[in-house]
Amino acid sequence: MMIQRALTIAGSAARGGAGIQADLKTFQEYDVFGTSVITAIVASSEKTGTGIFPQTLEAIEAQLYTIDKDIGIDALKTGMLFTKEVISYVADWIAKSNLTNIVVDPVMIGKMGSALLQEDAMTAMKMELLPLATIITPNMPEASYLLGNMELNSVEDLKVAAKKLRELGPKYVLVKGGRLVGPAIDVLYDGEQFYLLEAPRIDTVNTNGAGCTYSAAITAGLAKGLTVPESVIEAKKFITAAIRYSLSFKDGVGPTYHAAYGKFSEDDCTVTIVKTEK
């Protein structure tokens, strides 16, 4: 038997809704074989509050080596990389590989408030990693930050941001409009065409890991041979279902439900796609 393989290079989110855990659960839902490189462990403790425990570069290298040597990679995504050293290492490794399906989620701050990228790492992210991406998937604060605190208040603003971000070198840019008022509209741009992906707004605070899950779903779609727009459209349905049936456990921002897509009605994840030239 052989199935497609997707790799996530990201942080472990002990709470289970985001990071590595979200990615592997999502890959499993797509029936794609998931592998992982853990860059840091994110877990809050009574003593320290929110804690981040970075892994050594040696540990990161070893994980990448063994996955590449023994399993193989049809698509990969990056999530929380945390330091400029890790970003540079991963960017270098990608540049030397002949991989084509590269999803970069420029993770910066988690919904539980943790800083998932050090301040001095932004330049490496912009100059070294984003140019190698098949697709980047910033949310509004990330897109704004990458563009020098550009104000983003409307779909038109998201389109301008997508155009500017594409100048950094990625083939596709997906700017997610989750923080707009009104429907949840994301903008996908390929250098010529915009695709507006619209889903109804779901009234919930439990969206921890939504960005990770969305980009993992895109990665799994690419691993299975879908085109980028096809992967994004399928992933938007997947994340819409996961948010609609998001979970609330004991405390804090609850996770999305990674197994929701396909379990409930098709009407729960209807996505409208509008294509425009400019």
Using the contact rule CB under 6 A, the part of the chain among 6-14, 85-93, 131-139, 156-164 near ligand PXL is 6-14
In angstroms, the CA 153 to CA 11 distance is: 30
Q: Which is nearer to ligand PXL, 41 or 160 (CB)?
A: 41
255 lies in the binding site for ligand PXL (CB under 6 A): no
- Is 186 within 8 Å of 175 (Cβ atoms)? yes
At residue 171, what is the residue type? Answer: K
Q: Which is nearer to ligand PXL, 43 or 202 (CB)?
A: 43
Q: Which is nearer to ligand PXL, 209 or 254 (CB)?
A: 209
Q: Which is nearer to ligand PXL, 11 or 54 (CB)?
A: 11
162 lies in the binding site for ligand PXL (CB under 6 A): no
- Is 94 within 8 Å of 24 (Cβ atoms)? no
Q: Which of 116, 117, 121, 161 binds ligand PXL (CB under 6 A)?
A: 116
Q: Give the burial class of 16: count Cβ atoms within 10 A of its Cβ; 0-12 exposed, 13-18 middle, 19 or more buried.
A: middle
Q: Which is nearer to ligand PXL, 250 or 278 (CB)?
A: 250
H or E element in which residue 215 lies:
helix 210-223
140 lies in the binding site for ligand PXL (CB under 6 A): no
Q: Which of 16, 83, 112, 164 binds ligand PXL (CB under 6 A)?
A: 112
Contacts of 201 (CB under 8 A, 6+ apart): 182, 183, 184
Residue 116 CB, nearest approach to ligand PXL (Å): 5
Q: Which of 7, 9, 13, 143 binds ligand PXL (CB under 6 A)?
A: 13
| Residue 60 CA from chain centroid, whole number | 19
Q: Which is nearer to ligand PXL, 79 or 254 (CB)?
A: 79
Looking only at the bridges linking them, the beta strands covering 33-45 and 5-13 are parallel
Q: Which of 34, 54, 106, 110 binds ligand PXL (CB under 6 A)?
A: 110
b/e sequence 196-216, b meaning 16+ C-beta within 10 Å: bbbbeebeeebbbbbbbbbbb
- Is 177 within 8 Å of 158 (Cβ atoms)? yes
Using the contact rule CB under 6 A, the part of the chain among 178-186, 192-200, 203-211, 256-264 near ligand PXL is 203-211
Count the alpha carbons within 13 Å of 64 in the hemisphere toward its beta carbon: 21
87 lies in the binding site for ligand PXL (CB under 6 A): no
Q: Which of 6, 7, 9, 10 binds ligand PXL (CB under 6 A)?
A: 10
11 lies in the binding site for ligand PXL (CB under 6 A): yes
Q: Which of 211, 221, 229, 255 binds ligand PXL (CB under 6 A)?
A: 211
Q: Which of 6, 7, 19, 180 binds ligand PXL (CB under 6 A)?
A: 19
At residue 40, what is the residue type? Answer: A
Question: Rounded to 5 degrees, what are φ and ψ at 243?
Answer: -80, -40
What are the residues binding ligand PXL (CB under 6 A)? 10-11, 13, 18-19, 42, 79-80, 107, 110-112, 116, 208-209, 211-212
